[in-house]
Amino acid sequence: MRGGVQASCSRCCLGGTGSTYRQRPNAMAQSSQNSPNESVSSCGRRNFLKQSVVSLGVTVQEYVKHRDAEAEKGEKPDHIRTDWLRPPGALDEAHFLESCTGCGECVVACPHGSIRVLKENETPVIYPDEKPCYLCDAFPCIAACEPEALRPVGTVNAVAMGIAVVSQRLCTSGQGCNACVAQCPTRAIDMDFASMIIRVDGNLCVGCGICEYTCKTVNDQVAITVSRERAGILPQAKHA
């Protein structure tokens, strides 16, 4: 073997039996003059350095793993909700989209903060489980809408934002809940005490979402939700 030696220090992990490394002549000379204690101390330093390098490597690896996980989390798209309602007086969806300029005046006018802006097209929507429509006197949202995408409704009963639907599977009326009944501003909900079932009168429901909001505040799972199935029926047409 030229210019190399077999390191055989049993206490040095860098050397270890059978590992080969090159030594400079001077170093070899110096090495041969070293006392056994000096040699052990040099092995200790190498061990220490090796441990430090290994632990630095682990730290860097952990950091990279954490950073990548955070980046992945950040890249996840927002959950897109489609269960929104249009504010009261809204035209049918096609005409509403033609008329609404996205000015946001109705959002500002709503004293309850019920109207939010849909990210996709910046149009006004209501998420009834978060904040329903309280069917204000004089409907300030409608009054604020200059482009008339929201049209005057006359009376509360002429509002047609959607219709409430009860999931009998999720409804806890069997255990005595009837919280939504008392909160409905149009008395569209009643409880059949013989069968302990909640019923919605579609002719009275205006889709304000107060029942959905109420249900969510008292139950783990929302059993009454508003579908916008019949939304946008012009107020005059609803009772025609």
Q: Where does this chain bind ligand SF4 (CB under 6 A)? A: 87-88, 100-106, 109-110, 112, 114-115, 124, 133-136, 139-141, 144-145, 147, 149-150, 164, 184, 186, 188-189, 200, 205-211, 226
Distance of closest approach, residue 144 Cβ to ligand SF4, in angstroms = 5
- Is residue 222 within 8 Å of 165, Cβ to Cβ? no
How far, in Å, CA of 28 to CA of 25, rounded? Answer: 5
- Of 131, 81, 100, 85, the C-alpha closest to 230 is 85
From the CB of 106, what's the least distance to ligand SF4, in Å? 3
Q: Which is nearer to ligand SF4, 12 or 161 (CB)?
A: 161
3 state DSSP class of 130: coil
Distances (CA, A) of 70 to 64, 75, 78, 155: 10, 9, 15, 51
Number of helical H runs and strand E runs in the chain? 8, 8
Task: Compute the least distance from the CB of residue 203 to ligand SF4, in Å.
Answer: 11
Distance of CA 71 to the CA centre of its chain: 16
Of residues 15 and 88, the one with the C-beta less far from ligand SF4:
88
By C-beta, is 15 or 209 nearer to ligand SF4? 209
149 vs 158, beta carbon nearer ligand SF4? 149
- In the complex, what is the shortest distance from the CB of residue 58 to ligand SF4, in angstroms, rounded to a whole number? 55
Which amino acid, one-letter code, is at 191? M
Using alpha carbons, select from 54, 61, 46 the residue that is nearest to residue 13.
46
- Beta carbon of residue 231, minimum distance to ligand SF4 (angstroms, whole number): 11
Nearer to ligand SF4, 43 or 133 (CB): 133
